[in-house]
Amino acid sequence: MRRYELEGADKGYGLAVRSVARPTPAANEVLVRIRAVSLNHRDLYVLEGSAGRDSSGLVPVSDGAGEIIAVGQGVTRFKAGDRVATTFFEKWNGGVPTPAALTTARGGDTPGVLSEMIATHEDGLVKVPDHLSFEEAATLPCAGVTAWNGLFKHGHLQRGQFVLLEGTGGVSIFGLQFAAAAGAKPVITSSSDAKLERATSLGAIATVNYRTSPEWQKEVRAATGGAGVAHVLEIGGKDTLPKALASLGLGGHVALIGGLTGFGGAIEVDALTSRMGSMTSIYVGSREDFEAMNAFITQHKLKPIIDRVFGFEEAPAAFEYLESGAHFGKVVIRL
């Protein structure tokens, strides 16, 4: 079989196709024929070598979907032919995270899924909704679960509440779809009017171009009648967080997720406490969270938004496209 591995480069890593032996599932493992994977910004950080360790030879990418083609001894959760998606953490089944569980993040701490086949523990998979294709199912493990946890598990989203979404990448577009399906009021930002127009067609009740309106938090508050938003999916990082906090309404919740403008920076505590707000750091979630999200997706027959699908041989171009920021929703590689 073929798979991609990271190989050393002057700056970060490159992608190299390797031909390796087909894996054999051990006890409690299954063999999955991967049909599609999707990319996240975290995959770009891995390529850059930002983890601070030698990742040479690592199979990249955390998010994949396919069908089970063989099962090892003792497997009870699945059978051959089942359509499945990988969990981001292979060994975080549910409950609060543990240090051991957090060391099983695919495509970073452990081998990823940019491979024609993978052998994985049966606990590290979920069945995918019947109405989704493999390409659509492959978008769910990281971006989907992250948005779900930020809004519902930690934010306790309610109908009619305002939700701020930053940009039109994977997490934000999932947040837009989830919020609209739940009867909330999504407000979204982008530097592209064309992307904002598309976001409106998906349920955004207000849009803000942050390039033409650098003080975009003022327009966000105006869109809420001055009350501020109840939820923020904060993916921008140190440059956007102050404006996100300025957009927050009384009792609002901020889900700290990403660092597109850089990680770190000072948090204006007064901006949060003066609004009686709360903040949660989100690092994807557990299998239990994934299954709860899938139930919601099935109930509302939601279809993930895929911007572009690349072929297996085009994987390096897929990474470059994601890095360009031209995408709306998710970037997928079909195997």
pLDDT score at 271? 80
Q: How confident is the model at residue 263 (pLDDT cuts 50, 70, 90)?
A: low
pLDDT above 70: residue 10: no
Q: Indicate if 135 and 22 belong to the same structural domain.
A: yes
Q: Indicate if 174 and 255 belong to the same structural domain.
A: yes
Nearest to 66 by CA among 163, 136, 123: 136
Q: Considering the domain boundaries, does residue 63 fall inside one?
A: yes
Q: Considering the domain boundaries, does residue 132 fall inside one?
A: yes
Structural domain count, the chain: 2
**Which CATH number belongs to the domain containing residue 196 in this structure?**
3.40.50.720
User: Once rounded to an integer, what is the mean pLDDT over residues 153-168?
Assistant: 97
How large a percentage of the chain has pLDDT more than 70?
Answer: 97
pLDDT score at 206? 98
Reported as a single tens digit per residue, the pLDDT across 25-58 is 999 999 999 999 999 999 999 999 877 778 899 9
pLDDT score at 52? 72
Q: How confident is the model at residue 312 (pLDDT cuts 50, 70, 90)?
A: very high
pLDDT score at 266? 67
Helix (H) or strand (E) holding 229: strand 229-234
pLDDT above 80: residue 264: no
Cα separation, 182 vs 178, in Å, equals 6
Cα separation, 137 vs 304, in Å, equals 8
What mean pLDDT is reported for the chain? 95
Half-sphere exposure of residue 96: CA atoms within 13 angstroms, side-chain side: 2
Q: Indicate if 184 and 59 belong to the same structural domain.
A: no
pLDDT score at 238? 72
Residues 91, 121: contact at Cβ < 8 Å?
yes
Reported as a single tens digit per residue, the pLDDT across 98-150 is 999 999 999 999 999 999 999 999 999 999 999 999 999 999 999 999 999 99
Q: Indicate if 273 and 304 belong to the same structural domain.
A: no
Q: Indicate if 227 and 247 belong to the same structural domain.
A: yes
- Domain-ending residue, one of 261, 281, 301: 281
| Residue range of the domain that includes 298 | 2-142+285-334
Cα separation, 222 vs 193, in Å, equals 19
Q: Considering the domain boundaries, does residue 111 fall inside one?
A: yes
Nearest to 103 by CA among 161, 176, 51, 167: 51
Q: What angle do CA 158, 159, 160 make, to 5 degrees?
A: 115
Q: Considering the domain boundaries, does residue 150 fall inside one?
A: no
- Domain-ending residue, one of 249, 264, 281: 281
What's the full length of the chain, in residues? 335
Q: How confident is the model at residue 292 (pLDDT cuts 50, 70, 90)?
A: very high
pLDDT score at 99? 96
Q: Considering the domain boundaries, does residue 323 fall inside one?
A: yes
Q: Which of 4-18, 81-95, 163-177, 244-258 shows the lowest per-residue confidence on average (mean pLDDT)?
A: 4-18
Cα separation, 191 vs 328, in Å, equals 12
Q: Indicate if 263 and 203 belong to the same structural domain.
A: yes
| DSSP H helix total and E strand total for the chain | 11, 15
**Which CATH number belongs to the domain containing residue 328 in this structure?**
3.90.180.10
pLDDT score at 116? 98
Local structure of residue 149 (DSSP, 8 states): I
Q: Which of 82-86, 220-224, 237-241 shows the lowest per-residue confidence on average (mean pLDDT)?
A: 237-241
Q: Indicate if 197 and 323 belong to the same structural domain.
A: no
pLDDT score at 268? 78
Q: Considering the domain boundaries, does residue 314 fall inside one?
A: yes
Helix (H) or strand (E) holding 215: none
Structure tokens at 64: 């994949």
Q: Indicate if 272 and 292 belong to the same structural domain.
A: no
Q: Considering the domain boundaries, does residue 148 fall inside one?
A: no
- Domain-ending residue, one of 238, 256, 281: 281
Q: Considering the domain boundaries, does residue 147 fall inside one?
A: no
Q: Indicate if 277 and 293 belong to the same structural domain.
A: no
pLDDT score at 97? 94
Helix (H, G, I), strand (E, B) or coil at 167: coil
Q: Indicate if 248 and 326 belong to the same structural domain.
A: no
Q: Indicate if 277 and 289 belong to the same structural domain.
A: no
pLDDT above 70: residue 310: yes
Q: Indicate if 70 and 90 belong to the same structural domain.
A: yes
Query: pTM of the full predicted structure?
Result: 0.95
